[in-house]
Amino acid sequence: MPPKQNKETDDEHKFQAIVLADSFQTRFMPLTSVKPRCLLPLANVPLIEYTLEFLAQSNVVNEVYVMCCSHADQIQEYIDNSKWVTISSPFKKIQTISSKESRSVGDAMRDVDSRGLITGDFILISGDVVTNLDIAKVIEDHKKYKSNDRDYICTMVLTQASPMHRSRSIIEPACFIMDRATNRCLYYQDLPPINGKKTSVNIDPEVLEDIAEFEVNNSLIDCHVDICTAAVPTIFQENFDYQTLRSDFVKGVLGSDLLKKHIYSYITNDQYSARVESWQTYDGICQDVLERWCYPIVPERNLLEDQTYTYGSQHIYKENGVILSQSCKLQSAVVIGKDSFIGDETAVENSVIGRSCKIGANVIVENSYIWDGAIIEDGCIIKHSIIANDAIIRKNVILNPGSVIGFGVVIDENVIVPNNTRIIKQRIKNSTSSNIISSDDDDDDDEKDEHDSDDDEFDGPSKVVNELTLRDPSVVGYNGLGFLYEDDEEAQNEPSSGIVYEMAELNLSDSSLASSAITVHHTNKKKKRSHSSASGFVSEDEGESFDKEAIATVERAMENNHDLDTAMLELNTLRMSMNVTYHEVRESSCLAMIKRTNHFIETGTLGVKDAAEKIFRHWGKMFNRQVFDDADQVDLLLIIQEICYKLDEDYKALLFGCVAVVLYDIDILDDENIIAWWNSKESKKIPEIREKVAKWIEMLQEDSSEEESDDDEEEEEDEESEEE
Amino acid sequence: MSSAPSASAINAANKLEVLVEAFISKLKRRQVTGSYNVAIATCQFLMRVTSISRWNTANEFITLIREIGKRITDSQPREFAAGNIVRRVLAIVRDEINLNKTFNDNNSTNIAPVSASMFQLLITSNKEKDVGNIKINEKSDLRSIIIQGIRDLMDEIQSVHENIELMTVDLIHDNEILLTPTPGSSTVLNFLLKASLKRKFTVLITENYPNDIELCHRFAKKLADANIESVIIPDSTVFAVMSRVGKVLIGTRSVFVNGGCVTAAGVATVCECAKEHRTPVFTVAGLYKFSPCYPFDRNSLIEVGNSGKVVPYEDSDLVGKCEVTNPLYDYVSPEHIDIYITNIGGFSPNFIYRIILDNYYTNDVDLS
């Protein structure tokens, strides 16, 4: 039977696939300013081919939608000229969707939903996945879950790897908690980037209730292959604040009591899957492909129509028409594209060389990726670097580990490029600091000439660049072409963004991370145990569970942007059912809000003031139903003071101040009550927090003294006695 | 093909292209694997090509098939069966042309049919029937003859096991100990199952770590279910047990014109051990596995598989720090094989070239 007919007969079992061709990240800058990430070559094949091949291999996909954002025209053009649109394509339909306004996965998913593309179950995959996964098994599981669990929405495919694995993401490490019996994912949290600091995972014990056995796992390669039901885009649509797939969507869905949806995981051990999301994973996955860990996805598979790779021993792959001089040495894991030339005495090791490259004599190439048409002249040393298309490296250049040489850059003779340097041909104009750069530019141009003439006098091979200036000749040499690319944002946030990862440093930090995750696990178990043993003291237990429940409620409300009234109603119901006082309610809501605020501040999304403003301006109104009289107001301030005091941050006093001001602004607190608090004994116990607001209090005092003369102090005393 | 720019011609060309591409990507994606499956799939594919494609003369058809064959063998050079089937089909067409020639020109004699017919005297196979069929259908369309030929070829492939099994009684004795290092071979399995009906013997099975270990267990289970005493031994003990082994029985992926063959990894060692102990090595193979190619570059015949089977991928201490290779096939040279047992009889490796000459045309060996 012809395959075409087959497809039509079992059309109802076919899946749609959404390929997220945009990464919504800038990790591959500066190269991604010219070419989208999914078209960057990995082992001389554009990345998106691996994803599409995976979908084709699965034999269950008949419609593919490629969601593009930046460089959509390039992707469109590539797809239109690829084998996937020909009549022999395994997909019945492949369509590129340009969604220019999308800024995140969430936006793209909302776009998908509003276009009404999804008609049934679909595979959600990012355009940079390399895998040899057998999707049939996952789909089997998916069907099983779907029929057994009405709340099922999605299966995540994860690969087990040891914590230090080279293809494991060190940029987006994450912790998954799974029910061992059913593989249901109970909790997800992304861990902050590894920078030597210990991190912890906070788990709500309630999540783990009724779970016989669970596992905490942070050693999974998350390749972002999800099999979803049609409910997923709707959830994105409903929760318009979801941005990322994992830290917003998965976490949000799992943490939400309202949605009550279940996400399962599929963990594979023997199959390969990884995502090219940083230079480090690019390097790792490239080596994996060459060393055949991803078999049958290997270079001689010739994913592109016109490729002619053949395998040779020691993992050396050559295309037709490669010219190797007799004395060149190809050590393990090398790919060489068509019409490339390698000169005498040149040693190439663990590297990929594209098509029509010219590599001169006595060159050393180690762990480097040289893309099509690049020229490397005699005597260069290239280690752990990427040289993009049509770049020219002149004689005796040394590229130190981590160098990225952009498209068409020329590096002049005898230049030494320092570690982790990125060089581009043209400055990127739309960067945030463009103004500064361009203004600097003019000055530089003037200076350049002088500088150059100076350089010429002692233009020796020892021209080491020490300072990272914008002056191009100092980076690429006198006759070079290109600018230094600096991305300060990235430099701060992601210390390990280079292609080379300093193993020593990383080792430490990651193992500490792993161990801390384990301790979390233990303490949690202990907690649970003590919890159950203390179940005799009903009242105590109840109080504790109210705290948690209330905090969770408020958190949920904030996270999912619930209606204020709903949240208040929920809290009130909770209060009545648990029979606790308003004091406790206030305590829990303050705790939750401050935690949320602190989260914003910690992650650096907002400043202290903005964060406090954002949360308390809106959610502070909740106190309308929690704070009734003057004593309550003082109590509220005391609670906030105490919570802030317990925060282990140096901005805690500032935070308190901001919160108090906001609450005052929205009329939760009256000035006399603030002054009452200021004078109360309890508040004086924690002087650190008070300092910041001293000025403000003074102001308030002045204001109020104008209106009411001196019954303040009497009132205070009354209140205090009332409280006690 | 597309020389005639009519819409239907273009349509037909497109259809053909879809067919070819689909088949090639199927092979590339390893959605069809194993000599038997590939052979059957190729037959079916060529049958469709024959019916869809447009051609006026037999020579045009031959060029077309050669072109397609070239693409198939280039895209998946290690599924030898596909290339063999393409060449067999070409042989069918050429036979037909020659037959017509001899029929039209009674006096002229063709060398190929004569040499073939000499061999026909020695064997009793369906080859004669083929010749007969064609004679009957000489007047009818060449297309239907070719399709019939391919159908016969498929019948031949499907009945390989039955024909090989006929020889079991002569080859296996009672209370013999057999060793098989290719538990993945269904031909070997059927051979042993058939033999167990008449004989009682023990089979030692090497475990073929890491690639075929599951196959080995399944194989042993099937034998055990048929009341054959089966023993799984580690690959490393082959030499130690060889002194007790009466015969080594191997299956192959492909047999080459020099009498050598490509088979599962590890078999070369077993054959080497067998040679040391003067233990006879029997190779069972269907005729469709016989390839007219000569194994010049032996490294290129060997598929290298997933490194993850040798060292688990999670083992980050080793990944990237040592080179791991996992060859899936081995080449066994003709000196190490005593006899080939095929569906058309048993032959010495020295005689393989003769059988290949009878079934293929030398001008089809190189498809380019």
A266 with A389, same domain?
no
Residue of A291, A302, A350 to mutate, interface with B, max B Cβ within 10 Å: A291
A98 with A244, same domain?
yes
pLDDT at A476: 77
The answer to whether the CB of A186 falls within 8 A of the CB of A214 is yes
Pairing assessment for the beta strands B261-264 and B339-342 based on DSSP bridges: unpaired
pLDDT at A494: 44
The answer to whether the CB of A677 falls within 8 A of the CB of A683 is yes
> Closest Cα partner for A398 from A411, A415, A410?
A415
Boundary-marking domain end, from A425, A454, A486: A486
φ/ψ (deg, to 5) at A604: 80, 10
pLDDT at A196: 54
Above 50 in pLDDT, residue B315? yes
A106 with A145, same domain?
yes
Cβ pair B300:A310 closer than 8 A: yes
**Partners of residue A93 on adjacent β-strands:** A63
Task: Check the CA dihedral A27-A32-A38-A41 and report its sign.
Answer: negative
Which pLDDT tens digit goes with each residue over A231-255?
A: 888 888 888 778 888 878 888 888 7
A273 with A362, same domain?
no
**Partners of residue A125 on adjacent β-strands:** A19, A225
Q: Which of A3, A311, A314 is closest, CB to CB, to B323?
A: A314
Cα A184 to Cα A187: distance, rounded to the nearest angstrom: 9
Cβ pair B18:A87 closer than 8 A: yes
Q: Which of B19, B74, B317 is closest, CB to CB, to A2?
A: B19
Q: Please, what is the average pLDDT of chain B? A: 85
Cβ pair A292:B307 closer than 8 A: yes
Strand locations in A161-194, DSSP E?
A: 174-179, 184-190
Question: Measured between alpha carbons, how far is residue A381 from residues A336, A377, A483, A485, B289 in Å?
Answer: 18, 10, 21, 21, 50
The answer to whether the CB of B179 falls within 8 A of the CB of B206 is yes
Residue B333's pLDDT band (cuts 50, 70, 90): very high
The answer to whether the CB of A479 falls within 8 A of the CB of A410 is yes
Cα A199 to Cα A193: distance, rounded to the nearest angstrom: 10
pLDDT at A323: 93
Please, is A48 exposed, middle or buried when counting C-beta atoms within 10 Å of its C-beta (0-12, 13-18, 19+)?
A: buried
The answer for residues whose C-beta is within 8 angstroms of residue B70's C-beta and 6 or more apart is B367, B368
Cα A603 to Cα A606: distance, rounded to the nearest angstrom: 8
Residue corresponding to tokens 């009332």: A722
- Establish if A8 belongs to a structural domain: yes
Strand locations in chain B, DSSP E?
A: 176-180, 201-206, 229-233, 247-251, 254-255, 261-264, 281-284, 329-332, 339-342, 345-347
Cβ pair A166:B319 closer than 8 A: yes
pLDDT at A487: 63
Cβ pair A161:B313 closer than 8 A: yes
Cβ pair B314:A315 closer than 8 A: no
- Residues of A (640-699) whose Cβ lies below 8 Å from B: none
Cβ pair A162:B315 closer than 8 A: yes
Burial state string for A5-43 with b = 16 or more CB within 10 A and e = fewer than 16: eebeeeeeebbbbbbbbbbbebbbbbbbbbbbbbbbbbb
The answer to whether the CB of A310 falls within 8 A of the CB of A327 is no
Which pLDDT tens digit goes with each residue over B254-284?
A: 999 999 999 999 999 999 999 999 999 999 9
Q: Which of B299, B308, B315 is closest, CB to CB, to A272?
A: B308
A297 inside 8 A of chain B by CB: no
Provide the 10 A C-beta neighbour count for residue A202. Answer: 9
Domain around A419: 307-486
pLDDT at A513: 37
Which pLDDT tens digit goes with each residue over B68-91?
A: 999 999 888 888 999 999 999 999
- CA dihedral of residues B203, B207, B211, B215 (deg, nearest 10): 50
Q: Which amino acid is at A304?
A: L
Cα B368 to Cα B39: distance, rounded to the nearest angstrom: 21
In the predicted model, what is the mean pLDDT of residues B280-306?
91
- Establish if A458 belongs to a structural domain: yes
Q: Which of B18, B30, B304 is closest, CB to CB, to A292?
A: B304
Contact list, B323 vs chain A (CB under 8 Å): 291, 314-315, 332-333
Q: Where are the alpha helices (DSSP H) in A603-670?
A: 608-619, 630-646, 652-665
pLDDT at A651: 76
Query: Which chain A residue shows the shortest CA-CA distance from B306?
Result: A295
Q: B162-359: same fold as B7-158? A: no
Cβ pair B324:A291 closer than 8 A: yes
Question: CA of A246 to nearest chain B CA: how many angstroms apart?
Answer: 23
- Establish if A514 belongs to a structural domain: no
Question: Measured between alpha carbons, how far is residue A260 from residues A153, A186, A252, B36 in Å?
Answer: 10, 12, 11, 50
Which pLDDT tens digit goes with each residue over A142-173?
A: 888 888 888 888 888 888 776 666 666 555 66
- Residues of A (126-165) whose Cβ lies below 8 Å from B: 132, 160-165
Q: By three-state DSSP, how is residue A82 classified?
A: coil
Q: Which amino acid is at A20?
A: L
Which pLDDT tens digit goes with each residue over B4-52?
A: 457 777 888 888 888 898 899 888 888 888 899 999 999 999 999 988 8
Cβ pair A293:B313 closer than 8 A: yes
CATH fold label, B7-158 = Four Helix Bundle (Hemerythrin (Met), subunit A) (1.20.120)
A325 with A377, same domain?
yes
Cα A674 to Cα B290: distance, rounded to the nearest angstrom: 96
A93 with A170, same domain?
yes
> Closest Cα partner for A265 from A187, A185, A207?
A185
Cβ pair A301:B307 closer than 8 A: no
Cα A378 to Cα A392: distance, rounded to the nearest angstrom: 12
Contact list, A288 vs chain B (CB under 8 Å): 313, 319
Query: Which chain B residue shows the shortest CA-CA distance from A288?
Result: B320
The answer to whether the CB of A704 falls within 8 A of the CB of A712 is yes
pLDDT at B215: 92
Residue corresponding to tokens 């034998």: B223
A356 with A241, same domain?
no
Cβ pair B316:A269 closer than 8 A: no
Contact list, A286 vs chain B (CB under 8 Å): none
In the predicted model, what is the mean pLDDT of residues B218-236?
93
pLDDT at B360: 92
> Closest Cα partner for A417 from A346, A485, A361, A362?
A485
In total, chain B counts a number of residues equal to: 368
A319 with A275, same domain?
no
CATH value of B162-359 in 3.40.50.10470, 3.30.70.2970, 3.40.710.10, 1.10.287.1080: 3.40.50.10470
Query: Which chain B residue shows the shortest CA-CA distance from A297?
Result: B29
Q: Is A484 left (phi over 0), alpha (psi -120 to 50) or beta?
A: beta
Cα A459 to Cα A452: distance, rounded to the nearest angstrom: 10
A119 inside 8 A of chain B by CB: no
- Split into its structural domains, chain A has a count of 3
Interface predicted TM-score (ipTM) of this complex, two decimals: 0.82
Cβ pair A269:B326 closer than 8 A: no
Quote the tokens at residue A404: 């990225």
> Closest Cα partner for A197 from A494, A488, A510?
A510
pLDDT at A318: 92
Kindly report whether the peptide bond that precedes residue A296 is cis, defined as omega within 30 degrees of 0.
yes
Cα A493 to Cα A488: distance, rounded to the nearest angstrom: 9
A429 with A561, same domain?
no
Contact list, A83 vs chain B (CB under 8 Å): 21
pLDDT at B127: 44
A331 with A409, same domain?
yes
- Establish if A493 belongs to a structural domain: no
All residue ranges of chain A with pLDDT < 70 are 1-13, 162-173, 192-199, 427-472, 487-544, 704-724
A583 inside 8 A of chain B by CB: no
Question: CA of A538 to nearest chain B CA: how many angstroms apart?
Answer: 47
Contact list, B31 vs chain A (CB under 8 Å): 57, 59
The answer to whether the CB of A254 falls within 8 A of the CB of A175 is no
Q: Which of A56, A87, A284 is closest, CB to CB, to B14?
A: A87
Cβ pair B314:A165 closer than 8 A: yes
CATH number at residue A691: 1.25.40.180
| Helix%, strand%, coil% for chain B, nearest 5 | 55, 15, 35
Please, is A45 exposed, middle or buried when counting C-beta atoms within 10 Å of its C-beta (0-12, 13-18, 19+)?
A: buried
Contact list, B325 vs chain A (CB under 8 Å): 292, 313-315
Q: To 5 degrees, how large is the angle CA A18–CA A22–CA A28?
A: 145
From the DSSP assignment, how many helices (H) and strands (E) are in chain B?
15, 10
Q: Which of B22, B48, B323 is closest, CB to CB, to A88?
A: B22
Domain ranges of chain B: 7-158, 162-359
Above 50 in pLDDT, residue B175? yes
Contact list, A270 vs chain B (CB under 8 Å): 308, 312-313
Q: By three-state DSSP, how is residue A523 classified?
A: helix
Relative orientation angle of helices B186-196 and B213-225, to the nearest 10 degrees? 20
Cα B213 to Cα B193: distance, rounded to the nearest angstrom: 20
A313 with A228, same domain?
no
**Partners of residue B216 on adjacent β-strands:** none
Quote the tokens at residue A50: 């691996």
Question: CA of A302 to nearest chain B CA: how many angstroms apart?
Answer: 8
A166 inside 8 A of chain B by CB: yes
- Establish if A291 belongs to a structural domain: no
CATH number at residue A410: 2.160.10
Cβ pair A295:B28 closer than 8 A: no
Cα A315 to Cα A352: distance, rounded to the nearest angstrom: 12
Contact list, B14 vs chain A (CB under 8 Å): 87
Q: Which of B48, B299, B308 is closest, CB to CB, to A313?
A: B299
Burial state string for A676-695 with b = 16 or more CB within 10 A and e = fewer than 16: bbbbbebbeebeebbebbee
CATH number at residue A130: 3.90.550.10
From the DSSP assignment, how many helices (H) and strands (E) are in chain A?
23, 35
Q: Where are the alpha helices (DSSP H) in A257-410?
A: 279-290
Q: Which of B17, B314, B324 is closest, CB to CB, to A162?
A: B314
> Closest Cα partner for A217 from A249, A186, A250?
A186
Cα A57 to Cα A139: distance, rounded to the nearest angstrom: 13
A5 inside 8 A of chain B by CB: no
A332 inside 8 A of chain B by CB: yes
Cβ pair B30:A86 closer than 8 A: no
Q: Give the neighbor-by-neighbor strand order of the sheet with A369-370.
A: A310-312, A316-318, A334-336, A351-353, A369-370, A386-387, A404-405, A422-424, A483-484
Provide the 10 A C-beta neighbour count for residue A547. Answer: 18
Cα B368 to Cα B366: distance, rounded to the nearest angstrom: 6
